[in-house]
A and B are shown apart, each in its own frame.
Chain A
Amino acid sequence: MPNMQSTKTEMRTQPPKIRAKNFDEVALGYTEEDAKNEAARCLHCKHRPCVSGCPVSIAIPDFLAEAAAGNFDAAYDVISKSSSLPAICGRVCPQETQCEAKCVRGIKGEPVGIGRIERFVADRHNEKMHKTEKPEPNGHKVAVVGSGPSGLTCAGELAKMGYDVTIFEALHTAGGVLVYGIPEFRLPKSIVSLEIDNLRALGVKIETDMVIGRVLSVDDLLADGFESVFIGTGAGLPKFMNIKGESCNGVYSANEFLTRVNLMGAYREGADTPIMRAHRVAVVGGGNVAMDAARCALRLGADEVSIVYRRGEEELPARREEVEHAKEEGVVFRLLTNPVEVVGDEKRAVRAIRCVKMELGEPDASGRRRPVEVKGSEFELPVDCVIMALGTSPNPLIKSTTAGLETERWGGIVTDENGATSRPAVYAGGDAVTGAATVILAMGAGKTAAHAIDEYIRSK
């Protein structure tokens, strides 16, 4: 008999007032009992709608059945057939628009907390010591450019098949957006480094400080004996609004702000990398990155942090949980509000952000209602720091240094459904192809490309 409790089993979190002042993980995770109880809520529908909602098609009801029975190792095995980074996905996937959106339990009450159970199963697995068997080498070399979700997944899949894989990472630490973008309190870096250690144990080599396109080109890699190259360079280029005053001191791109905090550890006392300790912060945007930036600003000691977003609550693209957590911590949501100018003082330091009120009109191309300016509604919000979290686009470096690599006008690399680019032997996946998307989609693309690369090399 399924557990007919209509709401999700509560996941413990750090109390909002306390966590808003530290960088420790907010959600504390399930206990074994919690996980069993929640997994038992699954109805095991014949048509398995949740599986179709998962970008990598994890056999969700199967792992839930194992978890409900307390067979957590077996549950892990089910997940790991489809996903290579479950401890990460359990934390950062937007489950409410994917698997959980399709859950029949969600019609009357809350869907099964699939993400929370996935997280528990993965963490429990990771707590134990595991001996990774190094696969039999097959003698073929593949290069992976970028060590974010797509690159890590692609490298892992290939290594398991026996390929000699080298990852080239531009920064000094592997992990891509998982280390420079997503903050510690949402995704502890120890979890990311564990996944990376797992890859190393599989024999994957990681070369940091390697900006491909500058230090070496994709063609150099192919000439150096790599039979195939996977490009997973993400979408790292920040967008700005192109409004007046954006060059004032105190205006950050979310990328810069988060990189200083997360990658460079600027939040720690005595860190070498500086960060502005602002009093009143406006974060422009409504996605996960905006929530991350706002919550980091709060933790750095700001008195007031606002999310400034031109659409309404319904349209916020961030994960529901992040929005809830941000609200609990005291982030102010100024919705239907759009900045028109950053106002600087005589020293060009941010003094305020001038905004207009918006109202929602007809749906636009994205299907969301288009925000329209309310005439005469301009007002000034006094702030000393503005963080622009407006999305990112792919870095043009690879494109500009790889002859014959076709890209879209906006910079995304053109591939077929298996990740093959216009250049033979060169594959791509993740945000570099799709533009800014999710960790799980990037992982899926890395996995698909790994199999296409395997097929390509075998057929040579």
Chain B
Amino acid sequence: MKVSRRDFIKLSAATAFASGLGLGYFQKSRGVQQNAGEIKTVRSVCSPNCTGACGFDALVYNGRIETLTQAADYPEPEYNPRGCLRGQSMMNLIYGPDRLKRPLIRVGKRGEGKFKAVSWDEALDYVADRLADIMKRHGPESVAISIQVPGTGYVHKGAMMRLASMFGWSALHGYTMNGDLPAFWSQTFGVQTEEFESLEWTNSKYIAIFGSNIMVTRLPDAKFVNIAAERGAKVVVVDPNFSPTAAKADEWVQINPSTDSAFALAIAREIIENRLYDEEFIKTYTDMPLLVRMDTQKRLMAKEVKELEEIAGKLNVPEYRDVFVVYDVNEGFKPVNPETLERDFEPAIEGEFEVELVDGKRVKVKPVFQLLKEEVQKYTPEKVAEIITPPNRNKGEYVDMIKRLAFEMATVKPLHIIYGASNYQWYHGDLKGRALALIVALTGNLGKSGAGISTYAGQFKIRWPLGAWWSFKGRKNKWVTYLLWMNKEYRQSEEFKKYNRETPYPKNDVKAFLFGWNNPFDQHNMANRMIEYAENGDLELIVAIDFQMTTSCKWADVVLPGVAWYEKYELTATILHPYVQLQQPAIEPLFECMPEIWIFKELAKRLVQKWNDEELKSSISEFYPDPELFDEEERARKDGTWSFRLARNIAHKASLKAVELMLKTGGELVEGITLEKLLKGPVRLNLPTPNKRQIPFWEQINLKKPFPPQSYPVPLQKTARFVKSGRIEFYKEEDVFIDLGETLPVHKDPFVDTEYRLNPEAKRKYRYFYITRNALYRVHSTHSNNITMLELQDFRPRVWLHPITAKENGIAEGDLVEVYNDRGRVYGYAVLDEGLHPSVIIFEQGWWSRYLRGTSYNSLTFPWIKPTHIVYFVPGIWEPTTAWNEVACAVRKVEV
């Protein structure tokens, strides 16, 4: 083709314009590749907060990641390939224009985004100075940190926890901060969270999904729903809104928002009425045979009963257990040993009995089952149809549907209920969870392959004890509840004073906030509270650790550039699959970015100099698991041989040491899992089940171990007290449950205890439900700025509304609209969706504020605290959790 090119030059040279123009035509495109370099692939793990933890092969060429492909090396072929569009395009963030390059110190006003680039020494010294000062003035617990989901990175997140433990800082628990903690778990089962590994889904014959958008939010696992369906399982999706998951289901049941508990209780009623329950199961594993005193509404304890007092005294049970009483059909009142589920009684589960107490008083008692039976009587299909049927739909059909589904769920086994995060991120989310758990318990669907209830939010469960790395020389991690920080009115409220028994709060409030692995100014800025604290100076110091310039970084005083998961060694162990995996550096960290372990080590090193703690001072080199590594870097600093590369290599080595430390001290679950094995590929945890499958409560159901199984990292006694009977508990007797009428699962309408109580006007002004669901194109705010994801969304944040809603508000497809309430507003382009509930307005959360004309979807939300969540305080297990969806709003068209 050279000929024609030359010809063409001649041709164009003949014209007068050739010299100035035209020549660009021949300019070669800028070359990034010469076919000379060498190709290598490195296996790492994609690990944002979705907790998918998908193995990826990074193809590296000339020191840069060119492509990312699912590693697809999981031993079960079914798991291959794990990964999604976000993981595949991660290079857009690593090499994108928002990538952080150097440490930054703010020069403009907060939030203005004006910074100066400084050296690491300057940034770290500055942070250390400021922190030391705040710690001295307000106490170290006024420094709060947040690390988000642990399982996506035990080493570096652990390093931040390690640092916090050194000085007694507070940690905000991501699980509750995110609203991902499903409170019913602790209330019912005494655990943090349980869930099947996704491969187990295929063993179910009935999958009932209540408000979880599996096809989007569990993308790499979604196929297992399809495979289950292909193998003959029925899939039902209960959701106010038609979702991609509903599209794949055999049946979609549209219900009114947050009425799932009514629905579930109607199903429970049908099951009970028609005696479709698994009697053996409920007698053996649940509290349903236990007796409840009608006078106090508390459970009857053996030590209260005259005839049992003596035996009860002899029973040697731990202090976190109580000995309750059943009415044995042969032997009468009988104590129940809470330390085993081997059943030595044949309880009456219905009826009313009279029992003589130690003090001679005679009181009426009823088995929990009897109470339940009475309670669910209120939930007849007809009545529930009134509650759940969306406007303009046929209630009669709903009555039939309830009966039919109840029959199916009771008879088709194994049944698996998936309870979505968005569904429990409501004020009464715990009630819904308890009601749903009731269905699986009544039908005996627990502890078996394919049978159970699962929640799949961001997965916060810690897989094995990590204390050796996560705390510095045995120092305690302190926790503080995020919602108490956001909701200062509640902290001072009578309700809080009345019910709070344990939930701590720093006496001088949170004064410094250091965060990594999250973007709180977009994601957690409820009712704009965080911005308020930043602007009014309540927050004296804000430090962000990220690898890109997020909204939160813009609000920070100091931004410390960390690295992404292809630039460091890290250990991951999330929940959707039971694989422990290693992240490995495919490339050297870009610019001056540093692995987080190094950042925290450097901060620790600087802080001990300013903090009066001799033990810390003398043992600081132990911050790295191998003090020699610490010293090596210090030596290099002294003799002038320090370099970024050296520090990074040392940090890499220290990371691997931390991995080894955690594996060595992790106990049975990780026995035999070594660094060498992990370097070769993913390794399954030693779960105590056949084939090491992740089947919740397998040991309880099959080995009759009492509830609960341990939730790491807390010792068993801390959580076992939630279910003192050692059984699955549907009856809660703590005062607050009695006061609120929630001793048993009940249904309560949304907004009544929240929006309408806060402002009765809201009922009229804000008629719509504001639901912020998760987007296909982002993991929360991560990938908000991924250009490829933006293309797929037309670069537009969107607001989904039902055509009727749109019409009511004069909105047409594609209009720019504002969703708002008294607290805030957000902008997006209207999408009319026939599948939406007409009272629902959906915004897909996770857009950086820059795409929202400076607004935020979380300016509308509110940090509600439900008092049943402050009965106990075990961080991330029983503590107040966020309810993103408990928001009333209005919508209008705007011209901008």
* B partners with A: no
